[in-house]
Structure 1
Amino acid sequence: MEFYDSLEMKPEQVAEPEEILTKLMAERKKLINGYYGDSRNDKQRLDESLLPSHYAISLSGEPTMYPKLPELIKYLNSLEATKSIFLVTNGQEPDMIQRLQDEDALPTQLYLSTNAADYESFVKINKPKYDDSWERWNRTLGMLKHLDTRTVLRITLIRGYNDQTDMIPAFAKMFRESSPHFIEIKSYMHIGRSTNRLEHSNMLEMQEVKRFSEQVAKQSQIFSVMDESFVSRISILQNNERFIDRWIPAYANTN
């Protein structure tokens, strides 16, 4: 969304799901093709890599602005090799999330990203384009415990912006009321365009992420720390009241 001049995409202005995937696979083949020239590489594995099993609809921009998102997810699910589809959203298009639910087009796992537990912090950190952005985000947040799929709330901690101890109660309240299946709490990483507006010092050390996660989990009363990654500076909380297995059964024992 940060690179867009318009906040609306009309159906007649966008590519069809099949066209998007066809062109994506063509580019993927270009990336992989050179590996066939190295005799040390397993040709069967290379052939398999040309057709993905797992899809993440994410990265730059906001995927829920794409008006044919339900059709895209259904199309990906119709492919024999597909094992999972993950969708990441900033929560600014709650109507699309509702469409996914109504049209039986939810992904395998839905991630809602944020970095604030109150209006002032939300506006300061995100500098949103919509006047009702806080209301939009809260509508999406309120859907997490009702959607018929796995849900994750992803929190990015930024030193000096949202990592203060006095913010923990507000985050704990948010976690408790929204009740997603999992919560990811991770440090901001000083890479990409963010280096133009933030400093390396805005990154948290893993011990700080761990301490914040343990405290907010305790105050939430329904979450506990499930796992962590030192390299990624991330902790994962699990909902003990809405417990589901961390492994997705459909492909838990596959590559």
Structure 2
Amino acid sequence: MDSHCNGNTVLFLSSTLILLGIVCCKVGRYGRYSSDSPSGPEALIPAKVGWIVQELPSFVVPVLLIYQSGSLHTLGSKLLLFLFCGHYFHRTWIYGYFTRGRAVKISFVLKCFIFCAWNGYLQAHNLIYCTKYDDGWTTDFRFLFGLMLFLLGMAFNVHSDHLLRMLREPGDVTYKIPTGGLFEYISVANYFGEIVEWFGFSIATWTFPAFAFAIFTALCLGTRALHHHRFYLEMFQDYPKSRKALIPFLL
């Protein structure tokens, strides 16, 4: 373990991440499911700006930690950090550029900004300073299987986001029934893809912080998926009754 590794902080932040996911299951209502009304026009910012701002720390913080560390000693660490930063480069700049939707609360964006800074620091610090992989890690079954899940989940996620964007013309914020891809089987194919992605990452890294983030993602997005599925069923009388909420054929 590197002398720069703060193991107690990593353990605390990882454990808190799981607890936060449990809290999200209990009280996690936001967006269209929130009953709160904005206090005034200054309480909202455009969706595109809000998304880029809130996701940015997940990319910038790891990049700064990599720069500060000087170098990464093993190929495994380099590849795993590349996967994490690659995901958030896409989510911040590419997805953020194309995103459409209603304006969002500044308070919500700030909460997401803090969370992304926290998780970006946790995952990067752990991989740079606290986890050392031997030269054979990139051929280990856990790495290869996790990498396959990560790439498959990211493909599901990106494709599903594309299908959702194609439902609306620019400026249109009405809700429509998504079709195509995994949307033929579940209501939130984009959430399913992201959950698969982060469980793949946790297997490939084989670290507690990564597993904690995967559990947090599953709890938060799983709860939101159930709300989302119920929302579709209530809004559209012709919504396909055979579709599940999150997991094809199961849930």
- Output the TM-score relative to the length of structure 2: 0.24
Q: Which structure carries more relative contact order (alpha carbon 8 Å, separation 6+)?
A: 2
| Higher helix proportion | 2
- Output the TM-score relative to the length of structure 1: 0.24
| Higher strand proportion | 1
